[in-house]
Amino acid sequence: MSPFKSFTNFFSWINSFKIKSKLIILFILLKVIPIAIIAFIAFYGAISLEKKLIPNIEKIYKQHHNTFKIASSEFIKENITSLDSAYQNNIENQGVEIGKQIANFLYQRDQDIILLTTLPIAYSTFKNFATVNTSPLRIPAKYSYDKKYGIWKSLNKEVIKPVSISVPLPQTSKYYSCKHSSKIQNKQVPIYKEISFINLSGREEIKYSTLSKDLKNIKYRRNTYIKAERYFDKIQSLKKGEIYVSDVIGAYVKAQIRGKYNIKNTNEIGIKFNPEKSAFAGIENPVGKRYKAIIRFITPYYKNGIKIGYISLALDFRHVQEFTDYASPVQGEIRDIPNSESANYCYLWGPEGLLIAHPKNYYISGFNPQTGKRVAPWMHQQLYDEWKSSGESDAYTFLKSVPQWYKPEDFQASSKEQQLDSGQMALDIRYSREPMWTGYGLFQITKDGGFGSYQYFWDGKWKLMTASPIPYFTGKYGNSPRGFGIVCLGADVNEFHKSASKMEIQINNLVKKEGEILQSNLKENKKILHKFSISTIKNLSFASVIMIFIVILIAIWLSNLLTSKLKNLTIGAQEFGKENFNFRIPVNTHDEIGSLEKAFNNMARELHLINKKQKKYEKQIIEKNSDLKNISYFLNQLKEHSPDALFVHQPSGQITEVNQTTEKLFGYSKDQIRNLSIQDLSSSKHNQEEALAKINETMLKGCVDFEWELKNKAGLIVPATVRLRKINIKNKEFVLSFVTDIRKRKKAEQDVRKAHKQLSDIIEFLPDATFVINKEKIVIAWNKALENMTQIPKSKIIGKGNFEYSIPFYGERRPILIDLIGNDDPLLKSKYQNVTQQGQYIMGEVYVPSLYGGNGATVRVTASPLIDENGKIYGAIESVRDISHVKKAELELKLSEEKYKAIFNDSVLGIFQSTLDGQLINANIAFAKMIGFSDVNEAIRKCNTKEFYLEPERRTIIIKKLLEEGKIITYAEKFINRSGKVWIGNINVRFVKNANNKSNYIEGFVEDVTELKKYEQKLIEAKLKAEESDRLKSSFLANMSHEIRTPLNSIIGFSDLINQKEMEESKRNKFINIIHKNGKQLLRIISDILDVSKIEVGQLVITKSEFLVKEFMQDIYTNFSEQIEEEQKSHLKFILDFKEELNNIKIITDQGRLQQILLNLLDNALKFTEKGCITLGCKKTKHSEILFFVKDTGVGIPLEDQNKIFKRFIQVEDASTQFLSGTGLGLAISKELTKLLNGKIWLNSIPQKGSTFYISIPSK
């Protein structure tokens, strides 16, 4: 049998089955075979997956771990770089701010010394000024050395108690931080160590000082502070208002330990532990000796236009150190003591390179008080050895020949032993090779006045060094762009990124921990994957069996499905009838039933599309309606909330619609305003025809803009900008009006006009002739002073432009000075004399013959550009000052010099100049004749002044005295002339010195008084009598003049000061107290004068009364206790010594005069007692008398002076009391009053231990 026939027979056999059986057999063949194949593939895939997936997982783990590690490392590096950069900028700015603060503080000292030149010269003025000018200094924490741990411990650590803080609002809770305040204690300390007045010869005449109370001649260096100041020659050339400012002058403080001062370090170098004798070093030696220094400010003092001396201020440098000692680059750190231990600190370099402020005081460059020379700087070993072998004792003399400013390739660490034996470690960066102290970087950064920083590696750390100039340019500090010096902030770089470093450690730990977790997970995943493979194989086998069983069931189910086709068609027809067009009849065959099912399905699809389109159209209509509502609402809101008032009105002006702004602006409701027309809202300034014309113009043009005055419901005028627009609504024309309220703009314009008027008034009444031009060179201001000077009214010049070089008072075609602004034209400058430029100011002098009606005048002209806030020139101003009187004075000075020459030659006094060894340099004819010459030139050629002293040794004495004092005034000397004649001359001589403070020559004049001396003896006795009679009068007048003038000057001077508007309230109150105190002093002086007058003429009336001694004494004690407080001597103990036996004792006498006597004695005790106590007491004597007494522990009175102190105008003075004021009347009046009260007064006194004054008064 052929294969084809067998195949045919098989299908015939199959066709004999029913359709249901056919479907079951066919479905089994089609589904079971693929399931078996799939099961085999899945079995093989599960085994392959396990073999390939595990290596991939391990590779992914390693990549993930390495990626995370690299990313975290790069993140930390970027974070550190960012933090370092931000911190560096912050510290640089901090240094700049400290520099500005120091500069401002020093400029305030400039203001102080200039202020002193306006006050009277008096000890009380200086004392009051020094007392008023104080500044707070931080009180450093107290430390003690802990021998057990070898460290310094603070004794007053602040304990911060927890404070209950309310929970912040949710809006502020993010990064919320609250830090407790640190209570740092301050004390007010006087800014100045010394205030003095120095005369032109260098001698101190008045001085208030805590350095030295002795008055000295400061032109000799030995008399200056620590013998280190050399300023007298430098101040000679100072002009009015100019200020000399010194270096920082202070004694160097030594230390033999560099670093922590502890017992371990002292034992290592073999010295005793004695920190109080070593230099202060902040927290490394908190009990050491502090560096003490001053900065001296000096300016000339003028009286009636003549320089009579100099005012000198010695600033306590501690106040400058305060800016740096406690400064820290660590944000938020507050220090109670200077600390350089952590490498985060601040210090100062002077402009030359000397260290002037540092927490470790032994680094600060200072002077040797014994020699007055600056101590040697800390040098590297080679340079130090060269100095020692040079034989030069002074280091800086040796260093003049040594190169300065080492370059980076020369840097090396200094020997730590070279100068420690002497304890000298003063720093001068010009000669330093240590990277941390080199001036190469610091001075490169600040050479043009800029600031910056750099990092260096030192002591195992990277450190940052910032450099910022101190912009103080007074005196010599104006010669350097660094000003007063350089502020340096040193900082440990690790401090900048401490948080990032902590994060790096945390991330590394996290990476390590994460790696361990991943490794554990990897092992666990391997186990799970293996289990999964085994489970998959088992599950697939079981699932295949189950699926074959399910396929058989499905085949049976599908056979049953075919029989249900007709039923499905019925169900489909029913669903379509219900408009369920999404329902589809399953089509599984291509027979007639299948075609019918397709037809049904196609019909349902078409019906579904029709229905879907219909619903879409309905939805679009709904959405369009919603959009139209939203647009309408938006437009309505826009209209209602527009800042402009909106009107919609008809071409007739009748209003139909308005917004809320219109209601607010005009005060009408919408219903009220709809009954009005636009014409009704116009002010009376505009009639209805004008308003209607604007509307008609809009209907023609489409839009019109204009300003208009409207009025609101209250009748107030509302200026506005009106914009009319033609609109069309439903084919009907309307006008839309936008009304903008411009009342604020109008007010601003009015304010500008008012300000312009005020400025014009200021220019108009300036005392100097002034005019102003704009950038087009049109004259816009021409003041009254200029009209008077030129006699040209402003009406003829205002508004004229470009000048044509024809400003009339300059003369024909003379260029005006304003033309030189921004134009350095030599030809223009040649028209003027002395043309100078300071910044943008240009000054020049010129003679203008046309001024004052042709009388002419020399004027000084000053021109300056006018610059707006954007830095652009918008005009210029020029002022003209008549200086004809100055030129006249210069001419008179020239004539005066010629007159002086004539006086020199024609004088009857002998005038001469000679060298120290007596060689005559110059002389007039009178001097030549005195020494026996008829010709001056012959006298100069042949004469030596040594030859004309009758006693030649006298000249040696005179020269020695001149060397000590500088001049000798009017002394008599016997001379012998060329012919042998002896004559007597009154001579005045002085040294004339050059700029190096060395004597050049002697000059003086001699008067021949030979004849006068003959009469002198006859007049001596009469003269002595006259002098004795006048002495008391003169003494009285001199004392009174001084005693009255001093408080008056203080009252006037400080009254002027308190009128200054910018004065602080605290200073104003201090000055008022000073005025009150001086007023009381003046009242006491006048009372003393009146009492003396009454006593002399016998008109002093004694009024007796009876009173209790106890109450009397208590009143005096209470009143004088207040006076002690006012005199700021509350440190003195005031004792009332009153016996109980006197409680009920009464006395009959003049209570007021007795009180006056006791208060005089108490005043003296207070005046002459600086420490100890003052006692007021009384007791009863055996003779029915009351003995009052005042006892003090003051300076005392020498025995030889005790008898004369009760005389009028007598004051006992010594070095300790020379500055104390007084009239010399108090004790004299007390003695006279005691006599009038029938009493006695006497004293017991021991010099330097105190005095006791007794007054005995009869009780009845």
Taking phi over 0 as left and psi of -120 to 50 as alpha, with beta for the rest, 404 belongs to beta
CA distance 1176 to 1124: 13
Mean pLDDT value across residues 528-546: 70
Six token digits for residue 376: 């040697």
What's the CATH number where 726 sits? 3.30.450.20
Whole-number pLDDT of residue 1219: 44
Whole-number pLDDT of residue 1108: 92
Q: Is 131 or 841 the better-scoring residue by pLDDT?
A: 131
Please answer whether residues 415 and 395 qualify as being in contact, where contact means their C-beta atoms are separated by less than 8 angstroms. no
Residue 407, pLDDT > 80, answer no
For residue 375, is it within any domain?
Answer: yes
pLDDT for 801-834, tens place per residue?
655 434 444 444 344 556 655 556 666 566 666 6
Six token digits for residue 360: 């470790």
For residue 546, is it within any domain?
Answer: no
Q: Which of 359-368, 538-547, 1026-1035 has the highest mean pLDDT?
A: 359-368
Whole-number pLDDT of residue 338: 87
Residues 886 and 770 in one domain: yes
Mean pLDDT value across residues 249-261: 91
Mean pLDDT value across residues 1090-1118: 84
pLDDT for 846-882, tens place per residue?
787 778 877 888 888 888 888 777 878 777 888 888 8
Sign of the four-CA dihedral 699, 704, 709, 714:
positive
Residue 375, pLDDT > 80, answer yes
Last residue of a domain, one of 690, 709, 741: 741
Whole-number pLDDT of residue 815: 45
Residue 993, pLDDT > 80, answer no
What DSSP character marks residue 2?
Answer: -
Residues 913 and 948 in one domain: yes
In the chain, the amino acid numbered 1252 is T
CA distance 1051 to 1080: 11
- Mean of the per-residue pLDDT values for the chain? 79
C-alpha to C-alpha distances, 38 to 50, 491, 531, 540, 1225, nearest whole angstrom: 18, 74, 21, 9, 136
432: CB partners within 8 A, 6+ apart: 377, 378, 379, 380, 406, 414, 438, 439
Mean pLDDT value across residues 266-270: 88
Q: Is 489 or 1018 the better-scoring residue by pLDDT?
A: 489
For residue 600, is it within any domain?
Answer: no
Residue 410, pLDDT > 60, answer no
The domain of 972 spans: 907-1008
Please answer whether residues 297 and 113 qualify as being in contact, where contact means their C-beta atoms are separated by less than 8 angstroms. yes
Residues 233 and 270 in one domain: yes
CA distance 548 to 592: 32
Q: Which of 618-622, 853-857, 899-903 has the highest mean pLDDT?
A: 853-857
Whole-number pLDDT of residue 51: 65
CA distance 655 to 49: 86
CA distance 767 to 880: 10
Please answer whether residues 876 and 773 qualify as being in contact, where contact means their C-beta atoms are separated by less than 8 angstroms. yes
Mean pLDDT value across residues 231-246: 94
Query: What share of the chain has pLDDT > 70, as a percent?
Result: 73
Residue 1072, pLDDT > 70, answer yes
- Place 692 in a pLDDT band, splitting at 50, 70 and 90: confident
531: CB partners within 8 A, 6+ apart: none
Whole-number pLDDT of residue 511: 64
Residues 974 and 844 in one domain: no
Whole-number pLDDT of residue 453: 85
Residues 289 and 373 in one domain: yes
Residues 423 and 379 in one domain: yes
- Using DSSP, state whether 866 is helix, strand or coil: strand
Residue 572, pLDDT > 50, answer yes
For residue 783, is it within any domain?
Answer: yes
Counting every residue written for the chain, the total comes to: 1260
CA distance 852 to 779: 21
Number of H helices, E strands in the chain: 29, 37
Please answer whether residues 1250 and 1193 qualify as being in contact, where contact means their C-beta atoms are separated by less than 8 angstroms. yes
CA distance 530 to 533: 5
For residue 622, is it within any domain?
Answer: no
Whole-number pLDDT of residue 224: 96
For residue 634, is it within any domain?
Answer: no
Whole-number pLDDT of residue 812: 43
Task: Count up the domains in the chain and report the number.
Answer: 5
Please answer whether residues 446 and 486 qualify as being in contact, where contact means their C-beta atoms are separated by less than 8 angstroms. yes
The burial class, CB within 10 Å (0-12 / 13-18 / 19+), for 1165 is: buried
Mean pLDDT value across residues 225-249: 95
pLDDT for 85-100, tens place per residue?
777 888 889 999 999 9
CA distance 154 to 443: 38
Nearest to 1084 by CA among 1121, 1036, 1047: 1047
Residues 944 and 810 in one domain: no
Q: Which of 110-119, 714-723, 1044-1053 has the highest mean pLDDT?
A: 110-119
Q: Is 38 or 960 the better-scoring residue by pLDDT?
A: 960
In the chain, the amino acid numbered 1242 is W
Last residue of a domain, one of 865, 890, 915: 890
CA distance 640 to 634: 10
Whole-number pLDDT of residue 802: 55
E strands within 1020-1145?
1105-1108, 1133-1138
Residues 1185 and 1235 in one domain: yes
Residues 698 and 778 in one domain: no
3-state secondary structure 428-478: EHHHCCCCCCCHHHHHHHCCCCCCEEEEEEECCEEEEEEEEEECCCCHHHH
Q: Which residues of 486-511 are buried (b: 16+ CB within 10 A; e: fewer)?
A: bbbbbbbbebbbeebeebbeebeeeb
Residues 451 and 321 in one domain: yes
Residue 1064, pLDDT > 50, answer yes
Residue 1184, pLDDT > 70, answer yes
Nearest to 840 by CA among 870, 862, 812, 855: 862
For residue 999, is it within any domain?
Answer: yes
- Place 173 in a pLDDT band, splitting at 50, 70 and 90: low
C-alpha to C-alpha distances, 800 to 757, 848, 862, nearest whole angstrom: 20, 21, 21
Last residue of a domain, one of 468, 496, 524: 496
Mean pLDDT value across residues 714-729: 87
**Cβ-based neighbour number of residue 911 at 10 Å:** 18
What's the CATH number where 1217 sits? 3.30.565.10
For residue 1053, is it within any domain?
Answer: no
In the chain, the amino acid numbered 813 is R
In the chain, the amino acid numbered 1005 is F
Query: What share of the chain has pLDDT > 90, as a percent?
Result: 22
Q: Is 1131 or 16 the better-scoring residue by pLDDT?
A: 1131
Residues 278 and 309 in one domain: yes
Nearest to 1225 by CA among 1127, 1089, 1107, 1050: 1089
Residues 756 and 823 in one domain: yes
